[in-house]
């Protein structure tokens, strides 16, 4: 497992916070503050935590870390919003570890992190393990799709921190395996996605079972207005920390839209994957079925491919991530489950085989590349029927995305030679043939 990146390495050159400013707005008011020359040493973290940070080679926090850590240490509730790849996980894991080290040990759970997917739950626990190598705090990742017994054993032995998905967490709570009497901190990680995925009833149940006197932290890459309204009902006079503009992708991403008839998307994708510089490519599809189907097609054409979606077992998902992380797979085909929670620094390209449902989903997908200060490419294969969503994405980004065509690709290839993709049966059908499908390109 590659160690997580809590901040900025000593040899990373100009720091990420030289490029952005953080808006810290207590209770809706506001002031602007840059991170200046803040280092982890200046944040007054526990010496044993600093040892772990220095072991990983980091000296400066990212903007979200520099702004959030002092506020969390002060005991305030926090809403943290920053682009993907900017270190949000370490922004709450570090101060939680510090606060727990200041208090005598307890028998029961003292910190709870709730996340929408098992990948995000594991990501928080990976950060905890890497950053707490010199301290004696125990954590456990709790999520569905795997046997209960190892989780039951870990809980019985006692843990300080739990990182969990809502459904499996409630299973353990209702079975009497978790007691929150000692809980001090609750984190909702990627809160907008949890609420958007329909977890609100589960979240409401979980929060109702927690001690009323606790610190609440809410972190996300985007924070729509309706989510902000809801969070202010959950949090007590929170400090809102906004890094950069809302719903904006990392600045190092080069966007391009490839107009192509739907029946030729697979062929165009293959042409792109044969291009130079395609070293680590994340391809997004709309459905689980077609993710598997497309992966099989790419493998038959000689590519090394991993696949990641909700129907894969936990061992299959971990294996796919590890193969992709180590470069043993050039391509990972995934559904939107991979738009958040994949912490891989070297993804060179994100390709939207199917256009996402919303501009926010687009931002989350392409945020898997150009993490921290790196650069990356985000390509979108767009059929004519998908142009309205491209326009909506452009409106949110406040920019026109360049349209690109490959000079030697046959965009007028007859549909008879490329049967309609089955994964599109649920989408509105349109007539092909007679030049209608490709005349726009």
Are 337 and 413 within one domain?
yes
CA distances (Å), 434 to each of 227, 250, 399, in order? 47, 41, 34
Is 19 inside a domain boundary?
A: yes
For residue 18, being part of any structural domain is answered with yes
Judge whether 331 and 283 are in contact, CB under 8 Å: yes
- Domain of 310, in residue numbers: 253-424
Same domain, residue pair 224 and 362: no
In a domain, 204, yes or no: yes
| Residue 66: closest CA among 11, 99, 24, 14 | 24
Identify whether 149 is part of a domain. yes
The count of structural domains within the chain is 2
Secondary structure of residue 308 in the 3-state scheme: strand
**Which residues 6+ apart lie within 8 Å of 46 measured at CB?**
97, 98, 101, 102, 135
Of 243, 262, 295, which residue sits at a domain end? 243
Statement to judge: residues 15 and 90 lie in one domain: yes
The answer to whether residue 432 is domain-embedded is no
CA–centroid distance for 159 within its chain? 25
Residue 142 confidence (pLDDT): 94
DSSP β-ladder status, 22-26 and 239-243: antiparallel
Q: Is residue 430 a part of any domain in this protein?
A: no
Residues 229 and 266 in one domain: no
**Residues 382, 257: contact at Cβ < 8 Å?**
yes
Predicted local confidence at residue 415, as pLDDT: 60
- Say yes or no: 189 and 260 in one domain: no
**CATH code, domain with 227:** 3.40.50.300
Residue 99 and residue 172 share a domain? yes
Say yes or no: 201 and 311 in one domain: no
pLDDT, position 437: 32
Whether residue 297 is contained in a domain is answered as yes
Q: Is the pTM of this model over 0.85?
A: no
Find out whether 131 and 81 touch, Cβ atoms under 8 Å.
no
Looking at the structure, do residues 236 and 298 belong to the same domain, yes or no?
A: no
Boundary-marking domain end, from 185, 214, 243: 243
For the chain, the distance separating the N- and C-terminal CA atoms, rounded to the nearest angstrom, is 44
Same domain? For 258 and 152 the reply is: no
Domain assignment present for residue 436? The answer is no
Task: Spell out the per-residue pLDDT of the chain, length 441, in tens.
Answer: 334 445 554 433 333 333 333 333 333 333 233 445 788 989 999 999 999 898 888 888 988 999 999 999 999 999 988 766 678 888 999 999 999 998 877 778 999 999 988 888 988 898 888 888 888 888 999 998 888 999 999 999 999 999 999 999 999 999 999 999 999 999 999 887 787 677 888 998 999 999 999 999 998 877 766 677 777 778 888 998 987 655 455 555 788 999 999 999 999 999 999 876 688 899 999 888 899 999 999 999 999 999 988 778 777 888 888 888 888 899 999 888 655 556 666 788 889 999 988 887 888 788 766 444 456 788 999 999 999 999 999 988 888 999 999 988 999 886 644 444 444 444 443 333 333 233 233
Which residues are CB-neighbours of 278 under 8 A, at least 6 positions away? 272, 330, 348, 349
Residues 357 and 237 in one domain: no
Say if residue 37 is in the same domain as residue 143: yes
**Same domain for 224 and 312:** no
């Amino acid at each position: 497992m590659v160690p997580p990146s809590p901040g900025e390495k000593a040899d990373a050159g100009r720091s990420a916070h030289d490029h952005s400013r953080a808006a810290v707005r207590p209770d809706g008011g506001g002031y602007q503050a840059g991170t200046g020359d803040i280092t982890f040493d200046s944040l007054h973290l526990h010496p044993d935590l600093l040892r772990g940070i220095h072991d990983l080679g980091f000296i400066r926090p990212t903007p979200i870390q520099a702004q959030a850590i002092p506020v969390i240490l002060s005991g305030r509730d926090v809403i943290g919003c920053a682009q993907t790849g900017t270190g949000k996980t370490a922004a709450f894991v570090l101060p939680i570890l510090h606060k727990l080290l200041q208090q005598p040990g307890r028998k029961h759970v003292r910190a709870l992190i709730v996340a929408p997917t098992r990948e995000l739950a594991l990501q928080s626990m990976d950060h905890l393990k890497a950053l707490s190598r010199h301290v004696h705090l125990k954590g456990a990742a709790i999520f569905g799709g795997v046997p209960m017994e190892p989780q039951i054993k870990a809980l019985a032995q006692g843990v300080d921190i739990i990182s969990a998905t809502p459904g499996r967490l409630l299973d353990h709570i209702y079975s009497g395996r978790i007691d929150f009497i000692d809980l001090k901190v609750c984190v909702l990680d990627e809160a907008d996605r949890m609420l958007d995925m329909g977890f609100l009833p589960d979240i409401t149940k979980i929060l109702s079972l927690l001690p009323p006197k606790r610190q609440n932290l809410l972190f996300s890459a985007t924070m729509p207005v309706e989510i902000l309204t809801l969070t202010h009902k959950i949090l007590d006079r929170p400090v809102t920390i906004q890094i950069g503009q809302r719903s904006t992708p990392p600045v190092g991403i080069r966007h391009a839209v490839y107009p192509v008839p739907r029946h030729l998307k697979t062929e165009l994708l293959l042409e792109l994957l044969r291009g130079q510089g395609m070293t680590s490519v994340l391809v997004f599809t709309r459905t689980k079925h077609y993710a598997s189907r497309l992966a099989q097609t790419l493998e038959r054409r000689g590519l090394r491919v991993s696949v990641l979606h909700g129907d894969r077992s936990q061992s299959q998902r971990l294996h796919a991530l590890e193969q992709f992380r180590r470069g043993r797979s050039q391509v990972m085909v995934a559904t939107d489950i991979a738009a958040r929670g994949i912490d891989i620094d070297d993804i060179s390209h994100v390709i939207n085989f199917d256009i996402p449902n919303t501009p926010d989903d687009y931002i989350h997908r392409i945020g898997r590349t150009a993490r921290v200060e790196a650069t990356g490419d985000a390509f979108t294969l767009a059929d004519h029927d998908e142009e309205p969503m491209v326009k909506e994405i452009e409106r949110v980004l406040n920019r026109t995305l360049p349209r690109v065509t490959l000079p030697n690709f046959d965009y007028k290839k007859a549909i008879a030679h490329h049967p309609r993709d089955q994964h599109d049966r649920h989408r509105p059908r349109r007539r092909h043939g007679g030049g209608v499908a490709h005349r726009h390109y």
